[in-house]
Amino acid sequence: MKLISVASATLAAYLAWGSLGWPLIHDAPLMHYIAWVIAEGGVPYRDVFDMNLPGAYLIHAVVIAVMGGGDLAWRLFDLGWLAATCGLLWVYARPLGAWPAAAGALLFALYHLSGGAWRAGQRDFVLCAFLLAGALGVARSIEARGALVPLAWAGLALGIGMTVKPHAGLFWLGAAAAAAWGARRRWPVAAAATVIGAGVVAPALVFGWLAWRGGIGPFLSVFTGYVLPLYGQVGRVPVWLAFGDYRLGWGLWIAMAALAAVGAWNPAPGAEARKAIALMGVAAGAIHFVAQGKGWEYQLYPLAVFVCALAPFAVRRLTREPWESVGHPAMQPSAARVRHAGALALFAATVLVLGVKGADALDEWWINDKTRRVAAVTRDLGRVAGDGATVQVLDVTEGGVHALWNLGLRQPTRFIYDFHFFHHTGDARIQALRAELVDRLTAAPPAAIVVLRDTWNRKGYDRFRDWPELERILATRYRLAVDGDAYRIYARRADSS
């Protein structure tokens, strides 16, 4: 166990060091941009049309305010958050022994670092620390026969998590039920009420802030008029197909599932509550992934972190089984010893898969391509649009909004993505969003419109052919100023009104 853990730690250190050069990329610049708009006086959902909860914006705002908005700042935040999450994993499994606990923490570190630059600071990854803090609080309460103080900070942590991803609410309810069971001989109702009551504190504060900023109405409009009825149906893929899209996806998750199964099967005297809560976390994490239906790899984080919480139960050294106490040890192989060796081999195989995946992720070609594109769009857009000008971007994650973030430019509309204009196009709500964009571009024409070729669900520049109103604006009021590599910049004509 020590040898494998040392090798895992060495591999994790290598991947962490190699990741220091990862750029701010993919989703993170979008959240940075939204946080910047809010800091400039914008109101979430009214001035930025987005599907995330406000807790995600606040986390990015804090990172920018404390550490800055550069690539290295985001890298350090990501690694620091990873260290904190791994620390919680170690504390959670510490009753099983220092080395088994270290194995679980290192497994999660490798899982995260093997994902590549695009998974840095993802919301589902950030959520893991709050889920673990909640699980640890409930476990300590059960071990202390219903102590309420650990339940209070467990509820607070899970409440913060729910402001980042609402799916954390499922684990929050499960934690309340587990707390009630743990305190069944003393005060089960008080235990559950403590988790529930503490869990609403952070959402109340965050949504109170949103109401103060004037964003509650727009939030309800976005979520009830778009996110729940329409966005939830976009891009859904069967679960069994999703794993095939990841590098070594099936091999990795078969190994991790087997490791979790061994951990669930092994006895854990003195830590049964922790194992039960980790199993509850695995169930909640699986639902978290399946319910969203997008098949995106980062949505597996809550499942992965609780699999890693079960891993120490698999690799801990077991005592000899009761039926082995008869006979000479030299003549009778120990089933516990064989099981332990098998678990170690399974753990080593998982580490090996993560190592291969992580080595590939250190220098992915598409990250370099996207970084070059962001630099090119930033350079060309800076020449077309002057300081203080507005620029409309039609993109998702290909670099358009990242360029706005680099240049500090606002948009004339609240739309930072364009994918929602190209699904359910016959629905009146999508038609209303289209009309809103066209009206705003007509009333307050920006200095430039940036079109990225490869958006999420409708790739290619011809996606505007079934949107004649927008195509007319581009044709009559703008000229093609830059035809770059997978992007175009349209500059406003001097004679347009």
Answer for the pair 92, 44: CB distance below 8 angstroms, yes or no: no
Q: Tell me, yes or no, whether 336 lies in a domain.
A: yes
The predicted pLDDT at position 494 comes to 87
Please provide the DSSP assignment of 311-323 as one string: HHHHHSPPPPPGG
Lowest mean pLDDT among 62-76, 230-244, 474-488: 230-244
pLDDT tens, residue by residue, 192-238 = 999 999 999 999 999 999 999 999 999 999 999 999 999 999 988 88
Give the integer Cα–Cα distance in Å for 474 and 469: 9
In three-state secondary structure terms, 272 is helix
The predicted pLDDT at position 332 comes to 42
Helix or strand holding residue 129 (H, E): helix 123-143
The predicted pLDDT at position 237 comes to 87
Between 386 and 30, residue with greater pLDDT? 30
pLDDT tens, residue by residue, 456-482 = 888 899 999 999 999 999 999 999 999
pLDDT tens, residue by residue, 152-191 = 999 999 999 999 999 999 999 999 999 999 999 999 999 9
Between 185 and 80, residue with greater pLDDT? 80
| Same structural domain, 410 and 430 | yes
Q: Tell me, yes or no, whether 44 lies in a domain.
A: yes
Task: Give the mean model confidence (pLDDT) for residues 54-76.
Answer: 97
The predicted pLDDT at position 322 comes to 44
Q: Is pLDDT at 16 greater than 70 in this prediction?
A: yes
| Same structural domain, 411 and 266 | no
The predicted pLDDT at position 320 comes to 47
| Residue where a domain terminates, one of 361, 384, 417 | 361
| Residue where a domain terminates, one of 328, 345, 361 | 361
| Same structural domain, 345 and 400 | no
| Same structural domain, 357 and 370 | no
Q: Is pLDDT at 333 greater than 70 in this prediction?
A: no
Read off the amino acid at residue 70: G
Q: Tell me, yes or no, whether 328 lies in a domain.
A: yes
Answer for the pair 400, 487: CB distance below 8 angstroms, yes or no: yes
The predicted pLDDT at position 338 comes to 81
The predicted pLDDT at position 330 comes to 45
| Same structural domain, 340 and 449 | no
Number of folded domains in the chain?
2
| Same structural domain, 374 and 427 | yes
| Same structural domain, 35 and 74 | yes
Answer for the pair 158, 195: CB distance below 8 angstroms, yes or no: yes
Q: For residue 313, give Cα distances in angstroms to 103, 216, 259, 327, 347.
A: 10, 45, 9, 28, 11
Task: Give the mean model confidence (pLDDT) for residues 329-356.
Answer: 80
Answer for the pair 19, 113: CB distance below 8 angstroms, yes or no: yes
Task: Give the mean model confidence (pLDDT) for residues 424-428.
Answer: 95
Answer for the pair 75, 22: CB distance below 8 angstroms, yes or no: yes
Q: Is pLDDT at 324 greater than 90 in this prediction?
A: no
Q: Is pLDDT at 327 greater than 50 in this prediction?
A: no
Neighbours of 325 (CB within 10 A): 9
The predicted pLDDT at position 319 comes to 55
Give the integer Cα–Cα distance in Å for 100 and 97: 6
| Same structural domain, 480 and 423 | yes
Torsion of CA 109, 113, 117, 123, to 10 degrees: -30
| Same structural domain, 288 and 162 | yes
Packed helices 301-315 and 335-361: angle between N→C axes, nearest 10 degrees: 140
What percentage of the chain has pLDDT greater than the value 90?
86
The predicted pLDDT at position 331 comes to 40
The phi-psi region of residue 451 (left if phi > 0; otherwise alpha if psi is between -120 and 50; otherwise beta) is beta
Lowest mean pLDDT among 15-19, 157-161, 351-355, 385-389: 385-389
pLDDT tens, residue by residue, 1-11 = 788 889 999 99
Q: Is pLDDT at 29 greater than 90 in this prediction?
A: yes
- The overall average pLDDT reported for the chain is 93
The predicted pLDDT at position 309 comes to 98
| Residue where a domain terminates, one of 361, 395, 420 | 361
Q: Tell me, yes or no, whether 388 lies in a domain.
A: yes
The predicted pLDDT at position 497 comes to 60
Domain that holds residue 373: 366-492
Q: Is pLDDT at 133 greater than 60 in this prediction?
A: yes
pLDDT tens, residue by residue, 283-319 = 999 999 999 999 999 999 999 999 999 999 999 876 5
Between 356 and 334, residue with greater pLDDT? 356
Task: Give the mean model confidence (pLDDT) for residues 391-414.
Answer: 96
Q: Is pLDDT at 52 greater than 50 in this prediction?
A: yes
Q: Tell me, yes or no, whether 127 lies in a domain.
A: yes
Strand partners, 394: 451
Task: List strand residue ranges (DSSP E) for 332-462, in order.
Answer: 391-394, 448-452
| Same structural domain, 157 and 13 | yes
In three-state secondary structure terms, 240 is helix
The predicted pLDDT at position 13 comes to 97
Read off the pLDDT band of 97 (50, 70, 90): very high
Which pTM value belongs to this model? 0.94
Q: Tell me, yes or no, whether 497 lies in a domain.
A: no
| Same structural domain, 464 and 319 | no
Q: Is pLDDT at 397 greater than 70 in this prediction?
A: yes
| Same structural domain, 156 and 232 | yes
Read off the pLDDT band of 495 (50, 70, 90): confident
Q: Is pLDDT at 326 greater than 90 in this prediction?
A: no
Give the integer Cα–Cα distance in Å for 321 and 231: 53
Question: 181: closest CA among 280, 109, 101?
Answer: 280
